[in-house]
A and B are shown apart, each in its own frame.
Chain A
Amino acid sequence: MPTLEFRDAIRQALDEALRDDERVIVFGEDIAVAGGVFVTTPGLYETYGEQRVFDTPISELAITGAAYGSAVCGLRPVIEIMFGDFLTLAMDSLVNQAAKFFYISGEQGSVPLVVRSAVGGGGRFGSIHSQQPGTWFQNVPGLKIVAPSSPADAKALLKASIEDDNPVLFLEHKRLYTVKQEVDTEETAVLGKAKVVREGHDVTLVSIMKGVQDCLAAATTLSELGIDAEVVDLRTLRPFDRETILESLAKTNRLVAVEEGPLTGGWAGEVLASAVEGGLHEIDDIWRLTTPDHPIPFSPPLEDAFLPGADAIVASVSERLGVGSQQQNARTRGG
């Protein structure tokens, strides 16, 4: 099987979508001639030309609103909002227009657009270039939110997002762009289905994006401590796959939701609510491991302590399960 880098998975998905469907157009800031600030779009402008792949002014609201307008008139726009933090400027169009259209039009039509955006911390980019905006949008009905954790999923889920008839927010974690993996490049995926990426019996670790990689690394360490962890990759924040969460909980009876984002109001709370609501009698222990409720710091020691990485997951799980000697590092909150 060929090896694929996450950023190239994105490029391939866009390339194939442009190739297979005339209606697909791609636009954003510095995505055409320059090939994208995160090097996810090189070559597309050269192959498909400026009618289908083009640079825009620094005008996020115009970019997103224009995507909406072109989508309701038959195109399938894929736009890039460079950093997820800039989605605030695009929010009106996504929340008040794109997400509402299908329902309030009495289902006359839908808005097949995809907003790609780079998110997440760990790059020392500070509080306004590192956020996780997924949860800002999670309670907007009508909007799908996709959050891939691997190159294979990035490609399959982006293709599925572009083929989807609804508005989709597609989040790419900056720390994943250089991740490489052997993949079956023809793999497909459906939006709204979580995936058990590691089977285990003692505890379920639920996450998205880079958090899944951290959970997998933590699971390896935990197995050395005699803890057999199952890892669930949610893959989409909306639709929200409660079933897979409950199935795993029924098996392990313990669950931690690992969210790179503030404790209060995050998607991890939704995981716990689903567990309590649908699996109360299965629960021995459930809790959240998140970032503290303050903005993301710049300074490396502060940012490292702020983010819930593999070590923090190991410490938290071993503490809650009363195993190992890493209690002093525990970062458990809530629960």
Chain B
Amino acid sequence: MSSATDTTAAPAFGLDRDEALTLYRRMRLIRRFEETVQLLFQRGEVPGTTHLYTGEEAVATGVSSTLGPQDRIAGTYRGHGHALSVGVDPQALLDEMLGRETGVCKGRAGSMNVIDLSHRLIGCFGIVGGSIAAATGAAIALKRSGGVAVAFFGEGATNQGYFHECLNFAKVLNLPVVYICENNLYGEFTPMELVTAGEIRKRAETLQLGAVTIDGNDIWTVRAAAGAAVERARAGEGPQFIEALTYRHVGHSRSDPGAYRKPGELDEWLKRDPLKLARAGIIERYDADDATVDEVDESVEQQIQEMIAAALAAPFPTPGPVAEFKS
């Protein structure tokens, strides 16, 4: 692993057993949430399109676990995991996927564009790179209250003007923002190396941001790196950059079968499934065994089944006159 600062040996960043299990539960919830969205999409209950976070759960979960109530995040169209990581109500999120009135945005936004201000989510951005600018601006506001802004985005977004302009902007203004590049190796169907020159982390280093490349599938590593970056940003040391290496286990969107994957690549990554690693980490570090973690899985399963029933029963919004502007 290429890494400017080796964080793999870092401790669990001060978590007790229950907190660690809560973190695992959140990852499991994201995984099952995404599988549920896919299932309901195939059944025609989720309209339009979906971009799933399956396989990348450790990144958002780990990063958001280091944030406080005064902090904010900006996510992407692959944003269900980003949303759940900061505590967006899973039921309201699922209802949104189904276009229901009870959705977090009243069914107006859909899968790609979720916003939940009451849970620190300033937006999920359908435009590649949009989250980078939103978090940069959020940092200008949050600086007053000691808050930190976090942008999640894919490696493909680092070829957008948004990326280059905002990193420079944040550096010269010394903004408390942490940029989390979720490098899952592909932008849609195109392998990163065919469209990306040089090393991504070095782009941030050139602009003199604190920058590390980490194993994004290991929640403990992510937590350690993010915790350190957030602390530095909060302490006034300016913008920080983390490249989290990860992999989406599923297609880019909808029914993409992933024909562009290299042979055996998915199997290799499945061996390093973030949920498997988190489970192993819990058993290794705490007084817990497989049965302890299985219990968490079962409770998530029950929650998911209840959510599906409630979402399918939720009302659709009624068309009618709506306000163009806030009065």
Contacts and interface: CB of A to CB of B under 8 A. Distances in A.
Contacts of B322: 292, 294
B112 A129 contact: yes
B160 A125 contact: no
B194 A58 contact: no
A197 B176 CA distance: 59
A292 B320 CA distance: 10
A85 B112 CA distance: 14
Contact of A59 (B48, B110, B127, B159): B159
B99 interface: yes
Interface stretch (A26-34, A101-109, A202-210): A26-34
A224 to B, nearest CB: 26
Interface string A114-148: 00000000011111110000000000000000000
B324 A301 contact: no
Contact of B128 (A34, A58, A61, A301): A58
B112 A34 contact: no
Interface centre among B100, B110, B129, B316 (most CB of A within 10 A): B110
B47 interface: yes
Interface stretch (B63-71, B185-193, B300-308): B185-193
B79 to A, nearest CB: 12
Interface in B189-204: 189-190, 194-196
A287 interface: no
A86 interface: yes
Interface in A22-41: 29-30, 33-34, 37
Interface footprint category on A: 35 or more
Nearest to B97: A298
Contacts of A128: 112-113, 126-127
B165 to A, nearest CB: 11
A126 B113 contact: yes
A301 B319 contact: yes
Contacts of A88: 127
Given A298-B109, A299-B108, A306-B319, A61 B161 contact: yes
A299 B100 contact: yes
B99 A57 contact: no
Contacts of A59: 159-161
A285 interface: no
B216 interface: no
Query: Interface SS of chain A: helix, strand, loop or mixed?
Result: loop
A308 interface: no
A204 B112 CA distance: 39
A56 interface: yes
A77 interface: no
A305 B187 CA distance: 34
A299 B319 CA distance: 10
30 contacts: A33-B189, A57-B156, A57-B195, A58-B187, A59-B159, A88-B127, A89-B161, A123-B49, A124-B48, A124-B99, A125-B48, A126-B112, A126-B113, A127-B108, A127-B113, A128-B112, A128-B127, A129-B49, A129-B112, A129-B126, A293-B324, A294-B324, A297-B317, A299-B99, A299-B101, A299-B106, A299-B110, A301-B99, A302-B317, A304-B319
Closest 8 interchain pairs by CB? A298-B110, A124-B48, A305-B319, A299-B99, A299-B107, A124-B47, A128-B126, A57-B159
Interface of B: 47-49, 99-101, 103, 106-113, 126-129, 156-157, 159-161, 187-190, 194-196, 260, 316-319, 321-324
